[in-house]
Amino acid sequence: MADDRDERETAPAKGVSRRGFFTAVGAGAIGAATLAKAQPGAAPVAAKEEPATVTLVVNGRRRRLLVEPRWTLLFVLREKLGLTGTKVGCERGECGACTVLIDGTPRYACMTLALEAVGHEITTLEGLMRGEELGPVQQAFLAEDGLQCGYCTPGQVMAAEGLLRANPEPTLDEIRLGMSGNLCRCGAYAHIFKAVAKASQLRKAAGGEP
């Protein structure tokens, strides 16, 4: 009987006890920390990202500013440059309220890091103005009542501008497809489509200028 008892006491237990688990984890953590100290050249777990001084070309102007790597173009345009025509919507690339043009192509500013826009031409709603006068697309949205509450309108205008730069005389189906990335909660789509068609005519009359 004594032999059996000794055998039971010295035999390893099946599985791992709660105490054993934490003991093993603690030992592993101490070992990892010791190893890290022993290797001063080892990379840190999370490197700190420092702000960088960059130059953005916005509406034809060069703007030099300090930008954190995590900042979106939407944040920089509104909060750092004061260009509030670009609206904050869903902030996850679904509604299109923050649409701007990058090298003439519509892009969601909320899904674009400011650092990604370095070296590219950025155009916002303010950049379509001709001094104090509205540009052709803006005029068309006003003439055709292409808005209701108006919150999505800046993004709609920028999407239309990008569409017409790529395709000056789109068909109705092409307009619908080109504007499909911009949502209007008020449901003013019929008037928006008419506004884009009107803008095409105004741009043509103006010699195709933005």
Domain edges within the chain: 46-124, 129-210
Q: CB-based burial of residue 209 (10 Å sphere; 0-12 exposed, 13-18 middle, 19+ buried)? A: exposed
Report pLDDT digits (tens) over 4-19. Answer: 444 444 444 455 554 5
| Report field, pTM of the whole predicted structure over 0.85 | no
Q: Fold for domain 129-210? A: DNA polymerase; domain 1 (1.10.150)
Q: Tell me the average pLDDT across 95-115.
A: 98
CB 155 within 8 A of CB 99: yes
What is the band of 110 on the pLDDT scale with cuts at 50, 70, 90?
A: very high
pLDDT in tens, 40-64: 554 444 345 789 999 999 999 999 9
Give the pLDDT score at 159. 98
pLDDT classification of 120: cutoffs 50, 70, 90:
very high
Give the tens place of pLDDT for each residue, 141-199: 999 999 999 999 999 999 999 999 999 999 999 999 999 999 999 999 999 999 999 99
Q: Are 85 and 97 in contact (CB under 8 A)?
A: no
The DSSP result for 135-152, as a single string, is: PHHHHHHHHTT--SS-SS
Domain 46-124 has CATH 3.90.209.20: no
| Per-residue pLDDT tens over the stretch 134-147 | 999 999 999 999 99
The closest alpha carbon to 81, from 38, 132, 124, belongs to 124
